[in-house]
Chain A
């Protein structure tokens, strides 16, 4: 096409009412809520603590392990030693935010940090 002038035959597209019944609407709402696509005034659901982050184990002796990887293009290993509570906090956030990978928490934390720096807020 060499010009912005087009001529389309749109006769086949006629007004035709869409209908969503009450039952479907309720199903859609439930599925949306479950996916985190909530209403503006929805009350945030508190998720039951997973075994990994229960109060008893959160600061206790169990060290959380990896195993949440999926193919995301993150292919650089990054090994660090953390304090146990920092380690557990990362995993707790991953659960809370439904992250598919621990790297996602780190990426989000970095994003938040960059935004803070951009706002001129001192961080240290």
Chain B
């Protein structure tokens, strides 16, 4: 049932990577998953054209503000997890997706520009929650993070968000060649081999922790 939207008004923040890691990770666990590509650049559709998709993972493209609600309604009746990858801009599709979602993830890199856009996105989510009188859980997700440390600007930024009562996922998506490899090779992390990308095992551990934490957050939200 859960509908998870991945959004921020900033482009290139790591939305599609997060969508793919979550979607393929859940599919590997045997769940039926639909990825909705609401980005006009259609990155998921292009990925799916080349990828060897598991039978329990589907990708729906050409989703715009005109049909996003209907698509989410239709897919949520069919599969266990619907994940919506939104365009990195302030767009109406995001408004519709927020109101249909059980969880919203906001990928954030430790840059001021990203933080400004994440803050704008969070403000919008809060506003939409009030409009629809529905509490929509949102989590900020550190994306493309350095593997071994957190930068000082990242720490400062995180502290400011947390002071404002905004929750972060504990798991950070680390900048890894393997994650780029998922897109570049049209593969899943499970399909990739060490000869294609380095650090595959660490990437798999990172992705697994991400998927596991999302499930925990969803369970918590259902209580």
Contacts and interface: CB of A to CB of B under 8 A. Distances in A.
Interface in B75-116: 76-81, 90-92, 94-96, 98-100, 113
Interface in A17-34: 17-20, 24-25, 27-29, 31-33
A28 B124 CA distance: 11
Main secondary structure of the interface of B (DSSP, over half): helix
Interface stretch (B11-19, B24-32, B45-53, B138-146): B24-32
Given A10-B26, A25-B69, A31-B127, A111 B100 contact: no
Nearest to B119: A72
Contacts of B205: 1-4
B159 to A, nearest CB: 10
Interface stretch (A35-43, A47-55, A57-65): A35-43
B91 A40 contact: yes
A15 B80 contact: yes
Report the contact-size class of chain A (Cβ under 8 Å from the partner): 35 or more
Contact of B2 (A4, A13, A28): A13
* Residue of A3, A10, A14, A29 most packed against chain B (CB within 10 A): A10
Nearest to B112: A107
A32 B160 contact: no
* Residue of B2, B79, B91, B212 most packed against chain A (CB within 10 A): B91
B208 A4 contact: yes
A118 interface: no
A82 interface: no
B217 interface: no
Report the contact-size class of chain B (Cβ under 8 Å from the partner): 35 or more
B69 A20 contact: yes
Contact of B95 (A10, A12, A13, A28): A28
A7 B77 CA distance: 25
B99 A24 contact: yes
Contacts of B91: 37-40
A10 B30 contact: yes
A29 B92 contact: yes
Given A29-B95, A37-B94, A7 B69 contact: no
Contacts of B189: 4
B218 to A, nearest CB: 7
Per CB-CB distance, the 5 closest pairs between chain A and chain B, nearest first, are: A4-B204, A32-B95, A16-B1, A17-B77, A31-B131
Given A6-B208, A6-B211, A28-B98, 6 more contacts: A4-B205, A10-B30, A13-B218, A33-B92, A38-B91, A39-B91
Interface of B: 1-3, 26, 29-32, 40, 64-65, 69, 72-73, 76-81, 90-92, 94-96, 98-100, 113, 123-124, 127-128, 131-132, 156, 160, 189, 201, 203-205, 207-209, 211-212, 215, 218-219, 222
28 contacts: A1-B205, A3-B201, A3-B205, A3-B208, A5-B208, A6-B29, A6-B208, A6-B212, A10-B29, A10-B31, A12-B222, A13-B218, A15-B77, A15-B78, A15-B79, A16-B1, A17-B77, A18-B3, A18-B100, A20-B69, A20-B96, A25-B96, A28-B96, A28-B131, A32-B128, A35-B124, A37-B95, A37-B124
